[in-house]
Structure 1
Amino acid sequence: MESVRIQLSGNRIRANGRIVAAATDEHVAFGVYYDLQTDESGATKRLGLTVTVAERERQLVVARDEENMWLVTDARGQSRAGYDGALDVDMVFSPFFNTLPIRRARLHQRAAQVTLPTIYLGLPEMTVTAAEASYGSTGPGEGITVRTPGTDPAGVTLAVDADGFVIDYPGLAARI
C-alpha cells in the first residue's frame, strides 16, 4: 500500500509518502517514509527516505545539484555520480514515482515514446542503480505503457488521470 500527499506549484511537486509492504518470498515486511521535491521542470531535486524493517531503520538521501550530478548519502557515507544523466527517480513498489517522468514528458497530454535514464531504488535493501525506463503513450486519455527494471519485459500499461498522476498500476495498486 502506498499513501502520498502531493502539493503542486506549477510543475513543481512536493510529496510526502508512505509505503507498507507485507513479507513475501522475495522480501521481508517493511515500511518506507519518503519526502520528495522536484524543480520547476518536474525533475527530481531531492528525495529523502527512511526504510524500516523489524531489525532496524535506515535513511537514504539522493539529491541532484546544478551540474545534474547526484549526491547519495546513507549510513556508509556519501557518493557522487551522474547516473547516466538521470533526472528522475523510480522506486520499486511505488506507482507515484512513475508519475514524475509521465508529467515531465507530458505523456498524459500527447502521443509519444520516450526512453529516459533514471535512478532506480530497490527496497527494502535501499539499492541505488542507474537504469533505463521507457514510457509510451498513444494520446490523452489512453494508457501509458511503462518498462522499468521492476516490470515485466513486455511492460505494464498504467491508467493516469488528466494531470498525469497514476490511478491504476495493474498488479500493484489502484488509487482510492
Structure 2
Amino acid sequence: MNDPVRFTRTWRVSASGGYDTAWGGFTEDAMHARGRAVALEGGPYWVSYELRTGPGYVTRSLRVRVEGPGPEVRATELLRDADGRWTVDGRARPDLDGAADCDLGLCPLTNTMPVRRHGLHLAAGAAPAGPGHRFLMAWVSVPALAVVPSEQTYTPLGGGRVRYSSGTFSSDVLFDGDGLVLDYPGLATGLADNGT
C-alpha cells in the first residue's frame, strides 16, 4: 500500500465573499478531508466539515457544522451505506438513494470525487466528447444545511478543464493533476498551497 498523498488547499470563494481551506489525503482510491470556511455574504458564518469516501471516491460520510449568521449553530450528518442508501441525521432519504457523491454548497473540494473517479481532469482534447457524465448528488446548502437531490453533469474539455452544469448554471472548471479545483469561474479560485 502506498503512502497517502496529502494536500492542503485554500480557495478564495467569490460566491460567499470568504475563504475555504481543506486538509486531506488520497489513499489508493479513497479520500478523507476536513475543512473550515468563512463567508461574509449572507453572514458572517463559519462552516466546518469532515468528508470520508470509500473505494472509488464514493462518499461514506459528510459531517457539517455551521455557526451563524448570528448566534445560531446548526449541524448535519450524511451517511451512505454500501448499497447506495442515504440517511441524513439518522433518517432514511430514499430520494438520494443511488447518488455516489455529496456536494457541499460553495465548497470546491466536493467536485473532486466524480472528477477523480472518472479521470475527467486527465482527458485529452479540446472539445467535449459526448454528452458528459451525469450524476445524482446529495447537495447540502449553506448556511441552511438543507439536503436535496441535485442532477449535475461533468463534461471533460481537455487540459484539466471540466464543464460543470446543473440546471441553468454552467462553468468550465480548471483542475490540477490531483483533481483539486484550481479555478472555478463564478465560485472560487485556488490560492498557493500552504503545505501539508
Partner of 1:49: 64
Identical aligned residues as a percent: 29
CA contact under 8 A between 2:160 and 2:177: conserved in structure 1?
no
Greater mean alpha carbon deviation, residues 104-113 or residues 31-40: 104-113
Counterpart residue identity of residue 108, structure 2: P
Residue in structure 2 matching 1:35, options 44, 50, 68: 50
TM-fit CA distance, 1:84 = 4.5
- Note the residue ranges of structure 1 that are not aligned, 5 or more in a row: none
- Note the residue ranges of structure 2 that are not aligned, 5 or more in a row: 1-18, 192-196
Q: Which has the higher contact order (CA 8 A, sep 6+)?
A: 2
Count of residue pairs brought into register by the alignment: 165
Alpha-carbon distance in structure 2 between the residues aligned to 1:109 and 1:174: 20
CA contact under 8 A between 2:38 and 2:45: conserved in structure 1?
yes
Partner of 1:100: 113
Partner of 1:81: 93
Residue in structure 1 matching 2:37, options 19, 33, 41: 19
CA contact under 8 A between 2:123 and 2:160: conserved in structure 1?
no
TM-fit CA distance, 1:94 = 1.0
Partner of 2:15: none
CA contact under 8 A between 1:144 and 1:157: conserved in structure 2?
yes
TM-fit CA distance, 1:110 = 2.4
Alpha-carbon distance in structure 2 between the residues aligned to 1:138 and 1:3: 26
Q: For residues 42-98 of structure 1, give each alpha carbon's deviation from its aligned partner in whole angstroms, at most 9, with x where no partner exists.
A: 01100111111022211110010122111110xxxx311231410101121111111
Residue in structure 2 matching 1:170, options 172, 185, 190: 185
Partner of 1:160: 175
Matched residue SS, 1:18: strand
Residue in structure 1 matching 2:141, options 122, 125, 150: 122
Q: For residues 105-133 of structure 1, give each alpha carbon's deviation from its aligned partner in whole angstroms, at most 9, with x where no partner exists.
A: 21112265101011111110100001101
Matched residue SS, 2:55: coil
CA contact under 8 A between 1:84 and 1:130: conserved in structure 2?
no
TM-fit CA distance, 1:29 = 2.1
Alpha-carbon distance in structure 2 between the residues aligned to 1:97 and 1:64: 15
Alpha-carbon distance in structure 2 between the residues aligned to 1:93 and 1:61: 17
Give the TM-score, by structure 2 length. Answer: 0.79
TM-fit CA distance, 1:154 = 4.8
Give the TM-score, by structure 1 length. Answer: 0.88
Partner of 2:81: 65
Matched residue SS, 1:123: coil
